[in-house]
Structure 1
Amino acid sequence: MTAEQQNAKRGSTTAARLWTLEETAGFLGVPETTLYQWRHKRTGPPSHRVGRHVRYYPEAVHEWVRSQA
């Protein structure tokens, strides 16, 4: 199930909440470890720390994908 499908199931919109590392990896089709590596190298989509968790703005992830073309 994609992150967008999970959001729809919860009744929230994509813009209403931040994506988890797992949701972002699922959307991009990459392993979670790849997101950690990109974060360390500052080459992946912009991410934010919320407490001890890493979160992603869905709009920023979509924008990053578009910029990779």
Structure 2
Amino acid sequence: MSANAAGLPPRFLRTPEAARFLGLSGRTLEKHRTYGTGPAYRKLGGRVVYSVDDLQAWADRGAVTSTSDPRGAVLPAKRHDAAALAHASRSTR
């Protein structure tokens, strides 16, 4: 049951708490925010906050059922990362 359904105010977490909730480092969550690949966030009073429901929804979107599921693919965040990834995959063949 979500916090709103119980009549309680929504629960918001700052970046360190949100990262712990997801099992990520704070820096990884910051990078996801920068690249637009992370969970939805809000700015309240100049502070970045995440709702628990948005964090859970983002984590659920990453659920996969097999290694061949395309949703499990890691997409490079920057062009130079894509080139490095391509180079690494060629050198391991």
Relative to the length of structure 1, the TM-score reads 0.72
Aligned twin of 1:59: 53
Deviation at 1:61, TM superposition (A): 0.6
* Amino acid aligned to 1:49: K
Give the Cα–Cα distance (whole angstroms) in 2 for the partners of residues 67 and 16 of structure 1: 21
Which of 13, 18, 39 matches 2:12? 18
Give the Cα–Cα distance (whole angstroms) in 2 for the partners of residues 61 and 17 of structure 1: 11
Which is higher, the Rg of structure 1 or of structure 2?
2
Deviation at 1:22, TM superposition (A): 1.1
Q: Pick 1 or 2: higher relative contact order, CA cutoff 8 A, min separation 6.
A: 1
* Structure number with higher helix proportion: 1
Aligned twin of 1:10: none
Relative to the length of structure 2, the TM-score reads 0.55
Aligned twin of 1:5: none
Q: How many matched pairs?
A: 56
Gaps of 5+ in 1: 1-12
Identity of aligned residues (%): 30
Gaps of 5+ in 2: 1-7, 64-93
CA RMSD of aligned residues (A): 1.5
Task: List, as ranges, runs of 4+ consecutive aligned residues in structure 1 with deviation greater than 4 Å.
Answer: none
